Amino acid sequence: MSSFSDRIIHFNSTLNPKLSLPEGIAIMNPFRDNPRALEISSQFYRKFYNDNKTRRLILGINPGRFGAGVTGIPFTDTKRLAEKCGLHIENLKTHEPSSVFVYEVIDAYGGPERFYGDFYINSPCPLGFIKATEKGKAVNYNYYDSKALTRAVYPFMIESVKAHIDLGIDTRVAFCLGSGKNYQVLSRMNEEHGFFDRLIPLEHPRFIMQYRSKQKQQYIEKYLDAMTA
């Protein structure tokens, strides 16, 4: 019988949908664009998910260039991998502010082994997107940043959430990181398909770190209250 980690790694390694995207937007697939992402993430999942426990699902938005875009692990940079997860990645250093907050929540919950034993984090859209600015600089682009992109990827997102659930997810409650547009889209999806009995919105870690850093401890407590209820 395959383990939870086996199923995650298989999902990541076969992630290659054919999407027709609006002009000017490109797909960022960490597991094909970055040859180390599958290797790094596989180490992580084999360490923390090598079992068949049922977990609750936490859904972000989509991968960013400096978090999951490098490590293949949502909300995890190389610094947190080394300091918190005991996985040292040679010749690679990344710092992603959202991961700082997430790992403070994880520490408050009881540490990575306990947290990852109870939760699985991914995104309704497990692929990232990049758009070039007028000056030609590539920037992160969320699936909901244009209606055209949302329409283009919505069927893929539905199939991705189904695939996440099939990994071994407790569907009584799921958590949505992003209490605005992400929650609106996921709520609609959940109403249409009945994936979860309850969908609980939480402010996105990036929003907290960028705009509410002085209230960070309050948000950590809000996360813990929701996750332990």
Dump pLDDT digits (tens) for 168-197.
999 999 999 999 999 999 999 999 999 999
Write down the pLDDT at residue 67. Answer: 82
What is the mean predicted confidence (pLDDT) over 135-150?
91
Write down the pLDDT at residue 136. Answer: 78
Write down the pLDDT at residue 185. Answer: 98
What is the β-pairing status of strands 25-28 and 128-132?
antiparallel
Q: Which stretches does DSSP call E strand in the chain?
A: 25-28, 55-59, 119-122, 128-132, 138-141, 169-177, 198-202
Inform me whether the pLDDT recorded for 60 exceeds 90.
Answer: yes
| C-alpha 221 chain-centroid distance | 20
Which whole-number Å values give the CA distances from 120 to 22, 84, 110, in the listed order?
A: 30, 17, 15
Write down the pLDDT at residue 153. Answer: 97
Inform me whether the pLDDT recorded for 122 exceeds 90.
Answer: yes
Nearby residues of 88 by Cβ (< 8 Å), 6 or more positions away: 81, 82
What is the mean predicted confidence (pLDDT) over 111-130?
97
Write down the pLDDT at residue 189. Answer: 98
- pLDDT band at residue 204 under the 50/70/90 scheme: very high
Write down the pLDDT at residue 61. Answer: 96
Write down the pLDDT at residue 46. Answer: 98
What is the mean predicted confidence (pLDDT) over 115-131?
96
Burial of 17 (0-12, 13-18, 19+ CB in 10 A): middle
% of the chain exceeding 70 in pLDDT: 100
Decide: helix, strand or coil at residue 213. Answer: helix
Dump pLDDT digits (tens) for 83-92.
999 999 988 8
Mean pLDDT of the residues in the chain: 95
Dump pLDDT digits (tens) for 97-110.
999 999 999 999 99
What is the β-pairing status of strands 128-132 and 138-141?
antiparallel
Number of domains in the chain: 1
What is the mean predicted confidence (pLDDT) over 16-24?
92
Phi, psi angles (nearest 5°) of residue 132: -85, 135
Tokens, residue 24? 């000017």
Decide: helix, strand or coil at residue 136. Answer: coil
Write down the pLDDT at residue 85. Answer: 97
**Domain that residue 221 falls in:** 4-228
- pLDDT band at residue 123 under the 50/70/90 scheme: very high
Scan for tokens 């400096």, then name that residue: 66
CA distance 131 to 28: 10
CA distance 23 to 14: 25
- Considering only the C-alpha atoms of the chain, give the largest distance between any 2 of them, rounded to a whole number of Å: 51
Phi, psi angles (nearest 5°) of residue 140: -65, 145
CATH of the domain at 29: 3.40.470.10
